[in-house]
Structure 1
Amino acid sequence: MIKSLGLILPALIPSWRFFSTITPSVRIEYVITQLDALTNADWQEFRPRATQLTSSAVIKRLLWNPHWNETLFLVTCAERLISAPSQHSIDEINTRLLRQLTATPRPPAPSQYLYFRLAFWERQGIELTKTIEYVSEGTPIGGAVNDL
């Protein structure tokens, strides 16, 4: 029994030594606008993190959290897009963004375009610094919605 507990305890209480390096945190931001109308665009963070969680929500998330799993996959795609750019990573991010945005009660107009960008947040001393590393080309919403 003690040996089993010793095996499962590191999974329940992770160690900071698990991470070889701490890198800037990536966020995916998006905007829906007309083609090439990015000047003064109102970028929105895709799936912003909750600022507060109840104890029951934390426990529930430990046991079942498919949205967070997909968000982690998107973070992996975003990091991969910077380190080794591929169309696959771009397509995965676009597909998931479009799927969620078109499922809202007020979906975007088919004549508009979806853009996403990768914003990296890094702590420098006591300040947080945001750097934009990538801005996608526009994806037409009209044709993409029919493909989902």
Structure 2
Amino acid sequence: MWKTLSLILPVLIPSWRFFKAIEPSPRVQWSILSDVDSHARDWQEFRPRPLAVTPLQMLGRLFWNPAWNDTLFVVSCAERIEQQPTDHSITEIARRIQADIEQSQVDDSAQFFRFRLVFVHSDGTGLVEDIVFLSDPVAISAGAAC
């Protein structure tokens, strides 16, 4: 009985010492390029959070929210890239951005995209964005994954 209770109790009452440190996560932003040499402009937030969520939506998300799980995976990949870039993490983020771009059916002249990781913080006078990673251009191929 005590053994079972000792296993269940940490799930019901989590330890605040679970994380060694709480730090901001990088934001993932992407931009469309007309060719490999063009400069990225008009950066878009990747999967921005909704401005409002109804109580019914919150309740449903407690039990089923695969889109948020996928977004958390992207954040995990972004944190790994910030610490030590790996091809796997870069490819995983690029694949998800490409899938979102293809679903949104952007302008047909768009041939490439790139993404960046940005830390946003306040410096006392306003918000400051620090770019910690900028990807190489990735080809947009309709219907195909990266």
Normalised TM-score (structure 1): 0.80
Matches within 5 A, 1:11-90: 14=14, 16-35=16-35, 36-38=37-39, 41-90=41-90
**Secondary structure, aligned partner of 2:60:** helix
Indicate the residue corresponding to 2:118 in structure 1: 119
Quote the sequence identity (%): 40
CA contact (8 A) 1:74 1:93 kept: yes
**Secondary structure, aligned partner of 1:98:** helix
Normalised TM-score (structure 2): 0.81
Q: How many residues align?
A: 142
CA contact (8 A) 2:32 2:110 kept: no
Change (3 A) 1:16 1:53: farther
CA contact (8 A) 1:102 1:108 kept: no
Change (3 A) 1:139 1:5: closer
Q: Which blocks of at least 5 consecutive residues in structure 2 are unaligned?
A: none
Q: Higher helix share goes to which structure?
A: 1
Change (3 A) 1:57 1:125: farther
Measured after TM superposition, the shift of residue 112 of structure 1 is 1.3
How big is the alpha-carbon RMSD for the aligned residues of Structure 1 and Structure 2? 2.7
